[in-house]
Structure 1
Amino acid sequence: MGAFNGLVIAKFGINSLIATLAAMEFVRGLAYITSGGDAVMITVPGFFDLGSASFLGLTLPVWTMLACFVIFGVVLNMTAFGRNVLATGGNSEAAALAGVNVRRLKIIVFGLQGVVAGVVGVLLASRMGLGDPNTSMGLELAVISACVLGGVALSGGVATITGVVVGVLIMGCVQNAMGLLNVPTFTNTWCVARFCCWR
Structure 2
Amino acid sequence: MPGLKMKSSALLRLALSQSTLVFFVVMLIAAYFLSDRFFTPDNVTNILRQSVPLGVVSIGLLYVILTGGIDLSVGSVMALVSVVVALTLPDLGLTGAIIVSLAVGTCAGLVSGSLVAYFGIAPFIATLAIMTIARGVALIVSRGQPIFVDNDTFMSFGSSSFLGVPSLFLVLIGVTLLAALLYRQTVFGRLVIAVGSNEVATRFAGINIPTIKVAVYALSGFTCAIAGIISATRTGVGSPILAIGFELDAIAAVVVGGASLAGGRGTVINTLIGALILSIISNLMNLMDIPGYHQQVVKGVIIVLAVLMESAKRRLIDR
- When the two structures are superposed, what TM-score results if normalisation uses the length of structure 1? 0.92
Within 5 Å, which residues of 2 pair with 1:1-199?
Answer: 1-199=108-306
Question: Is the partner of 2:118 in helix, strand or coil?
Answer: helix
TM superposition shift of 1:43: 2.0
Q: Are the structure 2 counterparts of residues 181 and 52 from structure 1 closer, same or farther at C-alpha, using a change threshold of 3 Å?
A: closer
Mapped to 2, the partners of 1:15 and 1:160 lie a distance apart of 24
Shift of 1:170: 2.1
In structure 1, what is the Cα distance between the partners aligned to 2:197 and 2:129?
A: 23
Partner letter of residue 232 of structure 2? A
What number of residue pairs does the alignment pair up? Answer: 199
Q: CA deviation at 1:75?
A: 1.2
Letter in 1 for 2:136: G
* Larger RCO, structure (CA 8 Å, separation 6 or more): 2
Please give the root-mean-square deviation of Cα atoms over the aligned residues, in Å.
1.6
Contact 1:50 1:123 in 2 (8 A): no
Percent of aligned positions with the same letter in both sequences?
Answer: 33
Give structure 1 stretches of 5+ with no counterpart. none
* 1:174 alignment partner AA: I
How far apart are the structure 2 equivalents of 1:91 and 1:17?
20
Runs of 4+ in 1 over 3 A off after TM superposition: none
1:88 Cα offset (Å): 1.1
Whole-Å Cα distance in 1 between the matches of residues 227 and 131 of structure 2? 15
Q: Which amino acid aligns with 1:11?
A: Y
How far is the alpha carbon of 1:189 from its aligned partner?
Answer: 1.5
Q: Which has the higher helix share?
A: 2
Q: Computing the radius of gyration over CA atoms, which structure comes out larger, 1 or 2?
A: 2
Using structure 2 for the length normalisation, give the TM-score.
Answer: 0.59
Which runs of 5 or more structure 2 residues have no equivalent in the other structure?
1-107, 307-319
